[in-house]
A and B are shown apart, each in its own frame.
Chain A
Amino acid sequence: MQLFVEQVLNGIANGVVYGSVALALVLIFRTTSVLNFAQGEMALFSTYITWKLADEGDGFGLPIVAAIAISMVIAFVAGAVIERVLIRPVEQARSPLNVVIVTLGLFLGLNSVAQLLFGTDPQFMPSPFPEGSIELFSSGGDTAVLPKSTIGMILVLLAECILLWFLLQRTKAGLMLRAVASNPDSARLHGIRSGRMLMLGWAMAAAIGALAGSLVAAQRTGFDASLMQTVLVFALAAAALGGFDSLLGAVVAGLVVGIADALTIQYVDALDGIEVVLPLALILIVLVVRPNGLFGRRTVERV
């Protein structure tokens, strides 16, 4: 029982990370219909910036919360620039594959530039959350503990969701963003500057990525340039499971994937070493039953 609870908690801690990266993927997909394969590496780059700002030996020694905030601002601007400079020119191309190629190029480029600038040694990221853990219950000799950092992660993700929901559903900018997402041409005819909205979508996604990356790095004992690669695979799985256009779906699916992953590692010996089967199988099962994902909307096709 104790083991089970601990694994579920582990899964939640990972799932929160998958959920927030999936959130960024979904945000970009909703606004620009681009699947951003460079999302993980953009987050990695921002994570290194956070580390550089916060580290006392090699960096500027800022408090970690300030470092994350600054890094998010930088990522926000960089995300907008990437959309405008790299993505926009190829979006009009006849084949949507071209955008995929650009994000893949970005993926390779950012990863190697990050290694060049910040070195290949594992680095340590301080955590913004207090240490220690809370005792959930103890029965007999069993105790289950919940690390405070996990609680922190959950709170951050909740805050992100509420903020995004408010922004998208309750502000004028959010309304315009949704209009552009649902039909760029008619949005433009209504006087919405759709280019700016696309930039905004990418900028917000990049900022969310920066936050997620920094927190993942703090969760680990050390991080290097491969930090985000497995995270990205699971986040993609979560985004697909949640049905690409649903923010809530991304978060819930992130948690589902995280918990399922942790439980498989613990209990299913047959899958030892190939746990990645799990998100894949989850996607397949869900998509066969519900082709638009758990939370996705059904689309009607006009011929």
Chain B
Amino acid sequence: MAHPDKARPRGDKRYWLDERRNVDKIYYGLLIVCGALATAELFYEKHAHFAAENWFAFYGIFGFIACIGLVLTAKELRKLLKRGEDYYGDD
């Protein structure tokens, strides 16, 4: 997740998150937790209001797809909506 930090001042203390490996650890940790949350569904009884709630990992998959869709749509919208910072001449 972290980019190489060229802007980091010299002699600056190195932090745990400055290591690429550690960022990877967080990422894989997140993957494992997500997997665990999906499987957790098998161990309790569901009380659903809507049929969709009974599908396996409905909330997780819905959230994942919704967010990917959201960003891709927003990225396209940017082509339509993006203007220069002082578009309205307020500065």
Q: Do A and B bind each other?
A: no
- B-side residues, CB < 8 A to A, are none
